[in-house]
Structure 1
Amino acid sequence: MDAIVFGGGGFIGRSLVAELLGRGQSVAAGVRGRPERLTTWLADQGVDTGRLTVVTADISQPLTGLPEARDVYNTAGNYAFGLDPAQARAANVAGPLHVVDWAATVPGLRRLIHIGGYRIAEGQGGKSGGGAYEASKKEGDKAVRARARELGVPLTMAHPSTVIGPGQYIGLASVVHDLWRGRLPAVPGSPEVFLPVVTVGYVARFLAELPASPPGQDHWLLDDDTPLLPDLLRLLAGHMGVAAPRRHVPIGLLERLPRALTGADPETLPFLSTDRYPTASAHALAAGAGLSMPPVREELRHWADHLVASRFGTTEPWPGTQGFQDIAGSRTWVIGDRTRPAHVLLPGLPMNADMWAPLASHLKGPILTADLPGLGRSAPGESLDRWLEELLAPAETRPVLVGHSLACGPALRFAARHPDRVAGLVLVAPAFLQPVGPAYLRSAPAAALLRRAPVAKLLGLPADDPAVTASLADLERPGVARRVVKALRTAAAPANRAELRHLLTTVTVPVTIIAGTADAPVETALATAQVTGAGHYPQLTHPDQVADLLGV
Structure 2
Amino acid sequence: MDAIVFGATGFIGRSLVAELLGRGQRVAAAVRNDTLTPWLDSQGVDTGGLTVVTADITRPLTGLPRARDVYNTAARFAFGLGVEEARATNVTGALNVLEWAATLPELRRLVHISGYRVSNARPDYARLGAYEASKAEADLAVRARARELDVPLTIANPSTVIGPGQHIGLASLVEDLWNGRLPALPGGPDVFLPVVTIDYFSRFLAELPTSPAGQDHWVLDDTTPRLPELVAAVADHMGVRAPRRTIPVGLVRRLPRKITGADPETLSFLSTDRYPTASARALAETAGLEMPPATDALRAWADDLVATRFGAASPWLSPYGFRGRTWAVGDAHRPAHVLLHGLPMNADLWAPLSAHLSGPILAPDLPGLGRSAPTAQPMDAWLADLMRPVRTRPALVAHSLACGPALRFAVEHPGRVSTLVLIAPAFLQAPAPRLTRSALAAPMLRRMSAARLAATLGVPEGPEVASAAADLRRPGVARRVIAAMRAAFAERETSRSLLERVSVPVEIIVGSADPLAVGVDLPVTEIADAGHYPQLTHPAQVARRLGLVSDPIG
Native 8 Å contact 2:162 2:195 kept in 1:
yes
Alignment of 1:38-77 (within 5 A): 38-77=36-75
Give the residue type in structure 1 aligned to 2:420: L
What's the counterpart of residue 90 of structure 2?
92
What's the counterpart of residue 548 of structure 1?
544
Identify unmatched segments of 5+ residues in structure 2.
Answer: 549-554
Q: Which stretch of the first structure deviates more once superposed, 525-534 or 161-170?
A: 525-534
Cα separation, 1, equivalents of 2:378 and 2:458? 29
User: Is the aligned partner of 1:7 residue 2:19?
Assistant: no
SS in structure 2 of the partner of residue 411 of structure 1 = helix
Deviations 1:348-394 (A, max 9, x none): 00111011111111111110010000000011111111100010011
SS in structure 2 of the partner of residue 550 of structure 1 = helix
Alignment of 1:101-140 (within 5 A): 101-123=99-121, 129-140=127-138
Structure 2 residue corresponding to 1:346, chosen from 340, 350, 356? 340
What's the counterpart of residue 249 of structure 1?
247
Native 8 Å contact 2:125 2:133 kept in 1:
no
Alignment of 1:129-278 (within 5 A): 129-278=127-276
Cα deviation, residue 441, structure 1: 2.2
Cα separation, 1, equivalents of 2:366 and 2:127? 44
What's the counterpart of residue 533 of structure 2?
537
Alignment of 1:338-487 (within 5 A): 338-381=332-375, 382-453=377-448, 454-463=452-461, 465-487=462-484
Cα deviation, residue 126, structure 1: 11
SS in structure 2 of the partner of residue 129 of structure 1 = helix
Cα separation, 2, equivalents of 1:292 and 1:345? 38
SS in structure 2 of the partner of residue 220 of structure 1 = strand
Cα deviation, residue 145, structure 1: 1.3
Identify unmatched segments of 5+ residues in structure 1.
Answer: none
Cα separation, 1, equivalents of 2:289 and 2:126? 33
Cα separation, 2, equivalents of 1:546 and 1:450? 28
Native 8 Å contact 2:437 2:486 kept in 1:
yes
Native 8 Å contact 1:128 1:270 kept in 2:
no
Cα separation, 1, equivalents of 2:292 and 2:457? 45
Deviations 1:170-228 (A, max 9, x none): 00000000000111001110000000000001110000000011111111110000000
SS in structure 1 of the partner of residue 338 of structure 2 = strand
Cα separation, 2, equivalents of 1:201 and 1:396? 32
Native 8 Å contact 1:442 1:486 kept in 2:
no
What's the counterpart of residue 497 of structure 1?
492
What's the counterpart of residue 29 of structure 2?
29
Cα deviation, residue 123, structure 1: 4.9
Cα separation, 2, equivalents of 1:91 and 1:52? 24
Cα separation, 2, equivalents of 1:147 and 1:125? 17
Native 8 Å contact 1:61 1:95 kept in 2:
yes
Q: Which stretch of the first structure deviates more once superposed, 279-288 or 122-131?
A: 122-131
SS in structure 2 of the partner of residue 506 of structure 1 = coil
Deviations 1:255-280 (A, max 9, x none): 00000110000000010010111111
Cα separation, 2, equivalents of 1:440 and 1:50? 59
| Alignment TM-score, normalising by the size of structure 1 | 0.96
Cα deviation, residue 119, structure 1: 0.5
What's the counterpart of residue 16 of structure 1?
16
Q: Which stretch of the first structure deviates more once superposed, 501-510 or 427-436?
A: 501-510
What's the counterpart of residue 279 of structure 1?
277
Give the residue type in structure 1 aligned to 2:545: L
How has the CA–CA distance of structure 1 residues 125 and 376 changed in structure 2, closer, same or farther, with 3 Å as cutoff? farther
Native 8 Å contact 1:129 1:268 kept in 2:
no
Cα deviation, residue 101, structure 1: 1.1
The count of residues paired between Structure 1 and Structure 2 equals 543
Native 8 Å contact 1:129 1:266 kept in 2:
no
Give the residue type in structure 2 aligned to 1:360: S
| Alignment TM-score, normalising by the size of structure 2 | 0.96
Give the % identical residues.
66
Native 8 Å contact 1:425 1:512 kept in 2:
yes
Cα deviation, residue 8, structure 1: 0.8
Cα separation, 1, equivalents of 2:11 and 2:279? 24
Cα deviation, residue 519, structure 1: 2.2
Cα separation, 1, equivalents of 2:435 and 2:537? 26
How has the CA–CA distance of structure 1 residues 530 and 198 changed in structure 2, closer, same or farther, with 3 Å as cutoff? same
